[in-house]
Amino acid sequence: MNAPLKNNREAWLQGPSADGSIQCSAVPAKRKHPWRLILLGAPGVGKGTQAELLTERLGACHLSTGDVFRAAGQLRDCDQSPAMKAALDYMRRGELVPDSTVWEMVRERRACLLHCGGFILDGFPRTLGQAESLKELMATENISLSAVVNYELPLDEIVSRLSGRRTCEKCKSVFHVTERPPKVEGICDRCGARLIQREDDRPASIAVRMEAYDRSTAPLIQFYKNLGLLMPIPAKGSPDEILARTMEKLEETVSNK
């Protein structure tokens, strides 16, 4: 097992700077066979939670597009580009951000995808257009996906996970008021900052997000199945049980290659 990765993901969250000054303080170690994973699943199924746990196990970097938008939302108004302001409005309503904005943002950060430590993509791709763009970029760079993990859970359990979620406003660690409570109520175990409820975890936004998932993201299941990459995983049980299920399947996948 790898040593736990304390990657602050600065390069991913802030994007490239003209002078190259934005770099992660700790980056994943180079690996001969890096893991390159996509995590699929409805909003709230537990992708972010699993991505954090998988990062510790596999040494690859957790890259979430939702986290990039939320980080941009914390910038001063005058530092947000018009495209980013529009993206944040889509996000607050629970709608998907347009493909062109998302792809521009991911393309700018392609160094994170190409890093020899590997990646765990969480929340991207979310439409067939985004999946095609990623496929093209990876083919151009001569890198391939290890697997696409699809987490599956009944809707009522997903809604309860979303409504109880609390997120650290600083380091973005994720908790749940009953299922994964912090040691001190309202305070992040990892960095001591305040825990907050996400704006898009209100009931009206949750309904819009579920609808966007069914319409735009669920078709990716067939897309990756056709490519022979899909790995369905039941997302019932504790985070550690789901992690163990995921690791078992990933190890099987590798030994069959």
Residues lying near ligand AP5 in the complex (CB under 6 A) are found at: 41, 43-49, 64-66, 69, 90-91, 94-97, 102, 123-124, 126, 130, 161-162, 164-165, 174-176, 179-180, 200, 209, 238-239, 242
Q: Which active-site residues does the annotation give?
A: 47, 126, 165, 198, 209
State in angstroms the smallest separation of the CB of 19 from ligand AP5.
Answer: 28
User: Which residue lies nearer to ligand AP5 by CB, 67 or 146?
Assistant: 67
State in angstroms the smallest separation of the CB of 86 from ligand AP5.
Answer: 11
State in angstroms the smallest separation of the CB of 210 from ligand AP5.
Answer: 9
Angle between helices 155-163 and 203-212 (to 10 degrees): 140
Angle between helices 82-93 and 99-108 (to 10 degrees): 120
Strand partners, 118: 35
User: Which residue lies nearer to ligand AP5 by CB, 23 or 238?
Assistant: 238
Q: How far is CA 173 from the centre of its chain?
A: 12
User: Which residue lies nearer to ligand AP5 by CB, 232 or 239?
Assistant: 239
User: Which residue lies nearer to ligand AP5 by CB, 35 or 124?
Assistant: 124
State in angstroms the smallest separation of the CB of 100 from ligand AP5.
Answer: 11
Taking CB atoms, the residue at the shortest distance from ligand AP5 is 66
Strand partners, 168: 195
